[in-house]
Every structure is written in C-alpha cells, then in structure tokens.
Structure 1
Amino acid sequence: MDYRFIEVKHEGRLTIITLQRPEAHNALNYAAHEELQQAFDDFAGDAEQWVAIVTGSGSKAFCAGHDLKQQASDANLGTPPCGFGGLTSRFDLHKPVIAAVNGVAMGGGFELALACDIIIASHNAAFALPEAKVGLAALAGGMQRLPGLIGLKRSMGMLLTGRRVSAVEGAALGFVNEVVDGDVMIAARRWAADILACSPLSVRATKAAVMRGLEVPLSQALHEQWDYPEVQAMLRSEDAIEGPKAFAEKRSPQWVGH
C-alpha cells in the first residue's frame, strides 16, 4: 500500500510506524486512520514481524488526536473498525506494540499510546484527555484504560479537567515506562531489542494471558490460561524446546517463532 500520512519501515523483525502529519501535530484525519488500520493489519498478519513501534514525525507531537479542523467541516467522528489509529479497539493483537511518544499526545493520541503495551516518552512529551473542553469525551478507550492503569481518582482528575500531565508525572503515575532526554527512538529500539531477545511465542502468550486475566477472577484466569490458543502454540512450539536447550548449552537461543 502507498501511504500518504504514515511511513512504515521494517528493521529485521521490528516494524516502525511513523505518523507523517507534522504540520497538523500528527492529528489524524480519516484517511490517516485507514492507513494505520492497514499498517496494523499487515503487522498482525506478517509472521516475520514480531514487535512494532509507533511514533510521530517531528519533535513537537506524537499525535494531537482527531483532526478537529476536518471534524468541524464534516462532523465525521468515524474511525476504522479497529478504533482510533486502527489500534484502540484491536483486541486480538498479541504481538507487542511500543509507543515512542516524541511530543504531545492529546485526546485520541494519548488513547493510541494507552492502547500500546509500553510507553516510552521524551522529556518534552505531554499527555492529556481534553475532550470535555471541546464538547466531546474520550471514547477511544481513555475512560476505560486510564483508570485501570492509574486508579479512579487520579484518572478523574485528568478526565474531568482535561489537564496536561508531563512525561515525568506520567512515569510517577504509572502509565509511562521510561522518560528519556535524548532521541526517544533510541530507547524504544532498546526496549524492542529486549523483547526480540525473548521467544516471540512466549511474548504473545504472556500478553494474551495478561490481557484476558484482567477481565476475570484470578482463579478463573489461572484455570483458563492453559487453553488459550497462544499458550497452546507456545507449549507445542519448537521454541519451547530451543529455549531450555540453549540454556543447558550456555548459548543464546535461536528463535524461529513456531
């Protein structure tokens, strides 16, 4: 697919998706949403791609949310079937996604980051869900994901006021994994490399079990996890043999992903 509003690159097993609307602070119009949906579809379906990073172009913004100028002219709040940025309502992606937040992440942009598994933020990054200030609400998962991460009262303090939170405060609250002073992509690639050093099937089984475990009581989660397709695929894989064998032979494992 030829993209206009995003860029997709592959670095070995790593997919890097970059939002390419710096003149609009990487706000997403509907065409950009569709491109991101396709990019994440391709990542999900590509057996050779194991980890993804999503980031924004320029130094000012990760993503400023919906393109409100477009919305003001056509009142189109629509997003693709998999949600804002093709990710916020994508619940069957068990490959890990890292958000490299290089600047402001506002509204849907913050919700896009929250839908990722890990958030790495530059020191100048800022986060907010300011929808109430423009007559809207954080309908792309912010009202659900943020309380699960930082608790009810802290979330309501952000949601009901739309206030900005710095990267440092985001780390203290618990939704940012690391704050960096330099190039956020250097840190994001380091996190990706650490994940890629693990068995991809183990990573996917872990993500699937964690996310499903949030929805059910502990006793049920412990019982059901053995039947998850991702856990079964891990247990039956060549990698489940290679890992212990490499450990016994005191060498790095050579993962094949099946």
Structure 2
Amino acid sequence: MSAQVLREDCDGLCTLTLNRPDKLNALTVEMFQQLHAHLGALEQQQEHIGAVLLRGAGRCFSAGNDLHDIAAGQALPLPHLQARTIDRLARLPQVVIVAVHGHCYTGALELALAGDLIVCSRSASFADTHARWALTPLWGMSQRLPRRIGVARAREMMLLGRRYDGQRAAEMGLANLCFDDAQFETELQALVRELLAGSWFSHRATKRLLEETDGLPLAAGLAHEVFRNAGKGPDMAARIAAFGQASGRTA
C-alpha cells in the first residue's frame, strides 16, 4: 500500500499530508484507510502530540473525492469509512488545524470542516459541488457547514455550488484566518508555535467542553462547565512560576 497520507512529528506537532499531488490529492478509500489508522494512533499520543496539522502536498489541499472511486463503486473495508474517519478527526483530543491552499472542494471541504481551525491562503478555493454530480452529502457537510457559517450561507454554498476564494471564506467564517500566498507558510508556522505554547491540557479540556455542550441550552451548558470542569492542569504551577520570574514578580 503506497503512502497516500504522510506523517511527520516535530516539537509536539504532527503533520498529516494528503499525498496524491499528481491527482490533486483526490480522496480515495485507501487514503481514508491510512488517515483512519493515523488518527487511531494519535488518540493514544496526546501527551506527546499537542496539535495536528492536516494539509495537502503539491498544488492544493484536495480537489475532493476521487470520481473514479465513485464510478467504480469501490467497496469499503468499514461501513461509512469516510464519515467515521472525518468524525474521528473532529474528535481528536488534540487541536486540529487544517491548512488549505488551492482547491478544497466537496469531500475535501467535508474533511476540512472537522478541523478546530481552518487556515487558508488568499488564492484558496472552496466549494460544495455535490449537486454538479447528482450526489448528496454523506460525510457531514449538511451538519458541520451550517454550524460553522450559518444555515443561510450554507444553503447558498450547497445549492449553488459557487467557488469562494480564501478572503471570502474568512469573511464568511468558513476559514478562521486567511494569509497572503507569499506569507502563508511563515504565518502558518507562527500560528502553530503560538498554539503549542499554550497548555495542551487546557486545549484538550476546552475541546471536550465545546463538544459536550454543543446544542445544550445555556443553563445546561453553564452547569456542565461548572460541574464537569477538568480543573487545573499539571503544568499550571510551573507556568505561573515562570511568569513570576519573567516579570520580576511573585505569582
């Protein structure tokens, strides 16, 4: 099996790279199998990996599902493999950053929506083209997209199939941040360092709180935060002490 998803670890960051650059990283069953396996390993490595960066090799993030796979009706080794994998990505304990350059269409957009943060280049291009191919969402588009950008804007994207560049994606709230193409890599790496400098314990606890209270009434959500809080992290004392030393004060 060729490596359609590459993994590289460095200083607490795991970078997963979709690796079919000659095919614009079109998503295959094999790619999802490999991604699913990587995510299973990462679930057990939260003390060593603080964040996961998902990106694409070559000219783009991904042009979407491989239409040859769809036409061939390739059997899945696990029922609903793609949807399960995307959900597994969304539920990782680590913060997930999705870096989008070039195309991010349909199935690739469903994959990107599993990220906690979506960062894009100005020339990135986002679209949902299910209707062009007489397909319907199966990997989460109808649920994650409206939760991210609102129902009205999601209807626009899903019904019209229009393309949106990186700047427009950021204005819509689809992307958290948009950087000029020339500065994309520099800004992305700075963002990663900023994120990893925060407490990984706090990041994991925040993700759990947001996930567990999604859709709850305000009163129930507030009660959940108070009574099911993860408490103080093991690095709290060291962080406060370091702050005191750096500022010349005692905490």
On whether the aligned pair clears a TM of 0.5, the verdict is: yes
Q: How many residues align?
A: 245
2: CA distance, partners of 1:182 / 1:99: 18
Residues 184-209 of structure 1: per-residue CA shift (max 9 Å, x gap): 33322221111111110011111221
Q: How does 1:1-258 map to 2 (within 5 A)?
A: 4-46=3-45, 47-59=47-59, 61-74=60-73, 76=75, 83-84=82-83, 86-90=85-89, 92-180=91-179, 181-182=181-182, 184-228=184-228, 231-232=229-230, 234-235=231-232, 237-250=233-246
1: CA distance, partners of 2:55 / 2:161: 23
Partner of 1:256: none
Shift of 1:76: 4.5
Q: Which deviates more from structure 2 when the two are superposed, residues 96-105 or residues 84-93?
A: 84-93
Cα contact 2:146–2:154 (8 A) shared by 1: yes
User: Against the structure 1 CA distance between its residues 84 and 126, is the aligned structure 2 distance closer, same or farther, given a 3 Å change threshold?
Assistant: farther
Residues 127-159 of structure 1: per-residue CA shift (max 9 Å, x gap): 111111111112211111111121111110111
Q: Which letter maps to 1:8?
A: R
Shift of 1:77: 7.0
Shift of 1:49: 0.7
- TM-score norm. by structure 2 comes to 0.89
Shift of 1:54: 0.6
Can you give the 5+ residue segments of structure 1 that lack an aligned partner in the other structure? 252-258
User: Against the structure 1 CA distance between its residues 125 and 182, is the aligned structure 2 distance closer, same or farther, given a 3 Å change threshold?
Assistant: same
Cα contact 2:213–2:224 (8 A) shared by 1: no
User: Against the structure 1 CA distance between its residues 6 and 27, is the aligned structure 2 distance closer, same or farther, given a 3 Å change threshold?
Assistant: same
Q: Which deviates more from structure 2 when the two are superposed, residues 176-185 or residues 155-164?
A: 176-185
Q: Which letter maps to 1:96?
A: V
Can you give the 5+ residue segments of structure 2 that lack an aligned partner in the other structure? none
Among all aligned residue pairs of Structure 1 and Structure 2, give the percentage whose two residues are the same amino acid. 29
Shift of 1:37: 0.8
Q: Which letter maps to 2:33?
A: E
Shift of 1:250: 2.6
